Chains A and B, each alone.
Chain A
Amino acid sequence: DTGVSQNPRHKITKRGQNVTFRCDPISEHNRLYWYRQTLGQGPEFLTYFQNEAQLEKSRLLSDRFSAERPKGSFSTLEIQRTEQGDSAMYLCASSKLALAKNIQYFGAGTRLSVL
């Protein structure tokens, strides 16, 4: 069990550029979540998948953000036309619902800096 893996760990980009992050969940975990965390705050929900279906997307999420999980395994999060306000840590978590317990395990995150 290798844990949740995220790549890249750090991304520096210029305002207006597009960026894509990847998340590989724990194998056999059918749920995958994306959260965003800014300094001094708790993680904030962005979206989640059950297998390949995107079940919920935060109303706070701009149309510039899109996520996919094409085969129900890894997921990508793309941000188009990045803005300075997008600078944050992007966290991925995965879970396997068992006995009504939805325990989410987090990856180390991708830190995005928009210049």
Chain B
Amino acid sequence: QQPVQSPQAVILREGEDAVINCSSSKALYSVHWYRQKHGEAPVFLMILLKGGEQKGHEKISASFNEKKQQSSLYLTASQLSYSGTYFCGTEIGKAGGTSYGKLTFGQGTILTVHP
């Protein structure tokens, strides 16, 4: 089942912050975040394994709440280059602690940053 992302679209001015949420009804092994610009490949941003870790990548960070099966992506002090569509990809866990391997993606959040 596809994870649900919110909001569907965000418009920012440079320097503003944004949060993108991803929610699943399944028990997750990991959450992956990607950014895709028009006509290009999805670019990997970060992966979060179950355990509630939070990771950072420059001014982009993310958290994963294993109990709620929710992840959030935080973009601070946004730059023009942050514009694009953000996808979360969820990996379902198997009994025994491994995963199925495939990613199930949300419908995406379109982020637009204006000067």
Contact residues of A with B, CB < 8 Å?
4, 31, 33, 40-45, 48, 50, 55-56, 91, 100-109
Contact = CB atoms under 8 A, between A and B. Distances in A.
Tell me whether chain B's interface is mostly helix, strand or loop, or mixed.
Answer: strand
Given A100-B49, A101-B47, A45 B107 contact: no
Contact of A42 (B43, B44, B108): B108
B99 interface: yes
B103 A104 contact: yes
Contacts of A4: 41
B101 A91 contact: no
Interface string B83-115: 000010101000000011111111110000000
Interface of B: 2, 30, 32, 34, 40-44, 47, 49, 87, 89, 91, 99-108
Contacts of B103: 33, 43, 45, 104
Contacts of B30: 101-102
B41 A45 contact: no
B49 A109 contact: no
Contacts of B44: 103-106
Contacts of B2: 42
Contacts of B105: 42-44
Nearest to B100: A56
A53 B2 CA distance: 26
Contact of B91 (A42, A43, A44, A102): A102
14 contacts: A4-B41, A31-B101, A33-B102, A42-B87, A42-B108, A45-B104, A50-B101, A55-B101, A101-B30, A101-B49, A103-B44, A104-B32, A106-B42, A106-B44
B40 to A, nearest CB: 7
